[in-house]
Structure 1
């Protein structure tokens, strides 16, 4: 009997397949994706956006903080998931990004669910007295570890700390000296081994970590 030869499977091919199953997403997300492409803005994309929506619904999150929001694409998924009595806090350095994010939120009729902050996300984090159900890290990668301790302080027991780009284009596999790679590797090691945390590292797109805060 001859051996069955299967075609090689690429990551991009798998992502194309997964995205085919998200065609039913609201047109506002597709609009935001086109806008991100025009603006050359980095966004998490529909696969992770849909996953964030699902996680938010699963834990019934009502208070979400994003550290690094760009044009507000992931903000949109969170805002859709939290319901009318929830709030997402958007943070970004760029006024231009914030204005684009507001225009998208207006078009989606979700503006009332979002608090917009322009400035240093870590400064906002250190000053806020809120306790969050979900904190999402997607800021400059060399800031991930600096954001970690303060994020855990502002996260409710049982809350989720979610971080994007934890595979960093595969560079975490190698001994590289650049600050971004070293910081992400340090971040991944800590969240995977801390006794008060339970973490899964998920290899979708550029990697997503999901960490449950078990106790203070």
Structure 2
């Protein structure tokens, strides 16, 4: 696995300390490496599972699920009657996610929704104990606003790519957060900076950065 923005030794230590991966997760990791598919990776995956356990999560909602990697980590941390809602615009990737979940014996803990995640969340009642925001970067703030009233008290909203990604530059994000104009900043960087500024400004939220993978912003909602 690539270490992303973080030093490879730190990422490797995080992987070693985290939960063991089963055969399905190992296959997913191999696929991500071979195809260059962007997943959170095992170091962050272990943290997602731990966050779910820390808040005693029963329901999880994902804005953007790909072939189900992060959702699989969540599902393993949920009780047998728990639910993780996967959303994905690519029907083939969603079908692959369903297959992975079936093979891992976790399909009964998952709902697979094909289509735009922000449209999908409007059809769901809360509460959700954990939310993962990993859709189009310029729409992160929109995703947060669409789900915030459905987050349970003490629940967490987790945003991936808070430091870097293909269309996210950490220096631009930092500059924008400092109030610099940065006219050449990509839309992804602007979306992340807008999201981080927005959640940090909420009176009923507290946000901190988990510097693993490509950066994870964790927001606790009171």
2:188 is aligned, of 173, 180, 189, to 180
- The runs of 5 or more residues in structure 1 that have no matched partner are 1-9
| Aligned-partner Cα distance in 1 for 2:81–2:19 | 28
| Aligned-partner Cα distance in 1 for 2:121–2:28 | 26
TM-score, normalisation: structure 1: 0.88
Q: What residue is the counterpart of 1:170 in the other structure? A: 170
Q: What residue is the counterpart of 1:208 in the other structure? A: 216
Q: What residue is the counterpart of 1:92 in the other structure? A: 88
Q: What residue is the counterpart of 2:142 in the other structure? A: 146
Say whether the 8 Å CA contact 1:64–1:134 is kept in structure 2: yes
Q: What residue is the counterpart of 1:15 in the other structure? A: 11
Say whether the 8 Å CA contact 2:126–2:150 is kept in structure 1: yes
Give the number of equivalent residue pairs: 205
| Aligned-partner Cα distance in 2 for 1:66–1:152 | 13
Say whether the 8 Å CA contact 2:12–2:43 is kept in structure 1: no
1:23 is displaced (CA, Å) by 7.9
1:22 is displaced (CA, Å) by 4.4
1:136 matched to 2:137? no
RMSD over equivalenced CA pairs, Å: 1.7
Say whether the 8 Å CA contact 1:90–1:117 is kept in structure 2: yes
1:127-152 C-alpha deviation (Å, 9 max, x unpaired)? 32232111110111111011121121
With a CA cutoff of 8 Å and minimum separation of 6, indicate the structure with the bigger relative contact order.
2
TM-score, normalisation: structure 2: 0.86
- The runs of 5 or more residues in structure 2 that have no matched partner are 1-5, 176-181
Q: What residue is the counterpart of 2:53 in the other structure? A: 57
Structure 1 stretch displaced more, 24-33 or 157-166: 24-33
Say whether the 8 Å CA contact 2:121–2:146 is kept in structure 1: yes
| Aligned-partner Cα distance in 1 for 2:204–2:136 | 25
1:157-185 C-alpha deviation (Å, 9 max, x unpaired)? 22111111111252413434321111111
Structure 1 moving runs of 4+ over 4 Å: none
Q: What residue is the counterpart of 1:3 in the other structure? A: none
Q: What residue is the counterpart of 1:82 in the other structure? A: 78
1:91-122 C-alpha deviation (Å, 9 max, x unpaired)? 00011101111111111010110000010101
| Aligned-partner Cα distance in 2 for 1:38–1:137 | 25
3-state SS in 2 of match to 1:117: strand
Say whether the 8 Å CA contact 2:126–2:152 is kept in structure 1: no
Give the greater-gyration-radius structure (CA).
1
